[in-house]
Amino acid sequence: MVCVAAKRKRFRVIIPAYPAFNIYTQVAKITTALGPVSVASVVNKTEGWDAEVIDENNLRRYGPRADNRGADHEFLQSIRPADVVGLYGGLTSTIPRLYEIARFYKQKGVVTIAGGQHFVEETILEALNSGIDYIVIGEGEVTIRELLKVLDNEGDISSIEGIVYLKNGKPVFTSPREPLEDFENLPLPDFSLVRYASIKLYPVGRIRGCGMNCEFCTVKGKPRCASPERLLEQISFALETKDARHFFIVDDLFGQQREETLRFCAMLKKYQEDTGRRLDVTAQIRLDKAKDSELLSAMRLAGINTVAIGFESPIDEELQAMNKHISSQEMVSLSRIYHKFGFLIHGMFIFGYPLKEVAAVKLSSEDRIKRFRSFIKKAQIDTIQVLLPGPLPGTELRRRLQEQGRVYPAKDIGWEYYDGNFPLFEPDQPMTAEQMQTSARKIMGKFYQFKYLFMTGLHVFSFPVIIFYLHNIKQGWRKWYRSWRNALARFGGWVILNGWTKEFKKGIFWKKLQKAQQHLKK
Phi, psi angle pair for 310, to nearest 5°: -85, 85
Phi, psi angle pair for 58, to nearest 5°: -140, 80
Phi-psi region of 276 (alpha: psi -120 to 50; beta: other; left: phi over 0): left
The mean-pLDDT minimum among 97-111, 376-390, 433-447, 469-483 falls in 469-483
Distance of alpha carbon 10 from alpha carbon 83, whole angstroms: 5
Distance of alpha carbon 485 from alpha carbon 292, whole angstroms: 27
Q: Does residue 366 surpass a pLDDT of 50? A: yes
pLDDT for 324: 84
* Other beta carbons within 10 Å of 14: 27
pLDDT for 211: 77
DSSP string of 163-184? EEEEETTEEEE-PPPPPP---T
Q: Does residue 362 surpass a pLDDT of 80? A: no
Size (the chain), residues? 522
Q: Is 94 exposed, middle or buried (0-12, 13-18, 19+ CB in 10 A)?
A: buried
pLDDT band per the 50, 70, 90 thresholds, residue 454: confident
pLDDT band per the 50, 70, 90 thresholds, residue 453: confident
Q: What angle do CA 268, 272, 276 make, to 5 degrees?
A: 175
| CATH numeric code, 200-447 | 3.80.30.20
Distance of alpha carbon 322 from alpha carbon 476, whole angstroms: 40
Q: Does residue 468 surpass a pLDDT of 50? A: no
Which residues make Cβ contacts (< 8 Å) with residue 329, sequence separation at least 6?
Answer: none
Q: Does residue 460 surpass a pLDDT of 60? A: no
pTM: 0.93
In angstroms, what is the C-alpha Rg of the chain?
24
Distance of alpha carbon 120 from alpha carbon 278, whole angstroms: 42
Q: Does residue 394 surpass a pLDDT of 50? A: yes
Task: State the fold for domain 9-173.
Answer: Rossmann fold (3.40.50)
**Rounded average pLDDT over 116-124:** 94
Do the beta carbons of residue 13 and residue 39 sit within 8 Å? yes
Give the Å distances, CA to CA, from 262 to 15, 123, 206, 258: 34, 41, 13, 6
Widest Cα–Cα separation across the chain:
85
pLDDT for 86: 98
pLDDT for 457: 67
Which among 181, 289, 282, 179 is positioned nearest to 225, based on CA atoms? 181
Q: Are strands 134-136 and 111-115 parallel, antiparallel or unpaired?
A: parallel
Q: Does residue 23 surpass a pLDDT of 80? A: no
Mean pLDDT of the chain: 91
Distance of alpha carbon 308 from alpha carbon 349, whole angstroms: 11
Distance of CA 32 to the CA centre of its chain: 10
Distance of alpha carbon 104 from alpha carbon 113, whole angstroms: 13
Q: Does residue 365 surpass a pLDDT of 80? A: yes
**Rounded average pLDDT over 45-70:** 94
Give the Å distances, CA to CA, from 229 to 35, 66, 186, 303, 317: 19, 41, 13, 17, 41
pLDDT for 463: 46
Work out the percent of the chain whose per-residue pLDDT is above 70: 94
Do the beta carbons of residue 136 and residue 144 sit within 8 Å? yes
pLDDT for 325: 83
More confident residue, 157 or 256: 157
Enumerate the H helices of 63-113 as residue ranges.
Answer: 73-79, 95-107
| 33: amino acid identity, one letter | A
More confident residue, 115 or 1: 115
Q: What is the pLDDT of residues 304-330, one digit of tens each?
A: 999 999 999 999 888 888 888 889 999
**Rounded average pLDDT over 203-223:** 88
Q: Does residue 4 surpass a pLDDT of 80? A: no
Q: What is the pLDDT of residues 228-254, one digit of tens each?
A: 999 999 999 999 999 999 999 999 889
pLDDT for 425: 96
Which residue spans of the chain are classified as CATH 3.40.50.280? 9-173
Which residues make Cβ contacts (< 8 Å) with residue 403, sequence separation at least 6?
Answer: none
DSSP at 425: B
Task: Encode burial over 299-338: b for 16+ CB neighbours within 10 A, e otherwise.
Answer: beebbbbbbbbbbbbbbbbbbbbbebebebeebbebbebb
Which residue spans of the chain are classified as CATH 3.80.30.20? 200-447
The mean-pLDDT minimum among 142-151, 162-171, 333-342, 493-502 falls in 493-502
Distance of alpha carbon 18 from alpha carbon 27, whole angstroms: 12
pLDDT for 7: 82
**Rounded average pLDDT over 202-228:** 89
Distance of alpha carbon 32 from alpha carbon 35, whole angstroms: 9
DSSP at 215: T
Give the Å distances, CA to CA, from 189 to 45, 58, 77, 232: 11, 18, 25, 12
